[in-house]
């Protein structure tokens, strides 16, 4: 049986005014339940925003308020066959991580999948994964690379990985992934605007953190501590020399 993994990203690797970059979405085998849930809430939000129901419009997370976004989120989190997922990247602790955004994206998606397999989630007891990704930030090179990269990584698991790049304007499931990615992004980058407080089942989200050992460490404090230790060593050496 095929497992669908739908992902979107929130933030950007190159922006310096935000600490965390997020790739997030959900896993399911019942994709039709997600699209039906989106259609249901879309009608409610359109009525609240006085948008004609027959007008085609993408209600991106950046175009709706937290209350409206919470409607979508609580609807998808309420589907038992859906597993919300995310990987949060602490950019302040990536000083030695030098890679292009394309390579970095592939690497983070791979790490998210490896983390999820380690969690022994029943929905991942499958031999076929269809990864559905928003194509708006994707270069032609990435379109070719990600599927081959993941197939090579998971070849020993006898796992077929298929990657589909979709326009979010025409795919309700990708729009739902956008809401989850923005939800997680806000939780880490804007704690005062913590949208997760409006989502009763936010705890169901499987979140991988990268880099795991340094995640949320304060690089400045770390550098100060290292400098202090170096100064102590220098003073000890001076005492030995002058004694």
Q: What is the pLDDT of residue 143?
A: 56
Q: Is the per-residue pLDDT at 195 higher than 50?
A: yes
- Minimum mean pLDDT among 10-19, 26-35, 46-55, 125-134: which range? 10-19
Neighbours of 57 (CB within 10 A): 13
Q: 140 falls in which pLDDT band (50, 70, 90)?
A: very low
- How sure is the predictor about 146, in pLDDT bands with cuts at 50, 70 and 90? confident
Supply 225's token pair.
């501590």
Q: What is the pLDDT of residues 50-87, one digit of tens each?
A: 999 999 999 999 999 999 999 999 999 999 999 999 99
Instruction: Round the average pLDDT of the chain to a whole number and report it.
Output: 87
In this structure, what token pair is assigned to residue 170?
Answer: 């025409």
The pLDDT value given to residue 137: 56
Residues 6+ apart with CB under 8 A from 172: 34, 35, 38, 39, 42
What confidence score (pLDDT) does residue 147 get?
Answer: 86
Helix/strand/coil for 177: helix
Rounded average pLDDT over 39-48: 96
136 compared with 141, residue with greater pLDDT: 136
Of 1, 54, 56, 59, give the one whose Cα is nearest residue 27: 1
pLDDT at 110: 92
CA gap 240, 198 in Å, rounded = 61
């Amino acid at each position: 049986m095929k497992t669908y993994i739908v992902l979107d990203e929130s933030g950007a690797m190159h922006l310096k005014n935000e600490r965390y970059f997020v790739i997030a979405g959900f896993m399911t085998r019942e994709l039709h339940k997600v699209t039906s849930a989106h259609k249901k809430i879309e009608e409610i939000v359109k009525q609240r925003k006085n948008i004609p129901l027959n007008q085609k419009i993408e209600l991106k997370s950046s175009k709706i308020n937290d209350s409206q976004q919470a409607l979508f989120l609580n609807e998808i989190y309420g589907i038992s066959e859906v597993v919300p997922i995310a990987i949060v990247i602490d950019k302040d602790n990536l000083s030695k991580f030098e890679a292009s955004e394309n390579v970095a994206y592939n690497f983070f998606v791979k790490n998210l999948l490896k983390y999820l397999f380690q969690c022994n989630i029943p929905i991942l007891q499958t031999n076929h994964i269809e990864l559905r990704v928003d194509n708006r930030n994707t270069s032609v090179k990435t379109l070719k690379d990600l599927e081959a990269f993941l197939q090579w990584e998971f070849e020993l698991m006898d796992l077929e990985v298929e990657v589909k790049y979709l326009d979010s304007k025409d795919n309700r499931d990708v729009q739902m992934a956008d809401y989850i990615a923005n939800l997680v992004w806000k939780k880490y980058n804007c704690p005062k605007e913590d949208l997760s407080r409006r989502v009763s089942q936010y705890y169901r989200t499987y979140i991988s953190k990268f880099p795991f050992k340094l995640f949320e460490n304060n690089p400045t404090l770390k550098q100060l501590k290292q400098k202090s230790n170096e100064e102590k060593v220098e003073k000890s050496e001076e005492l030995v020399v002058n004694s």
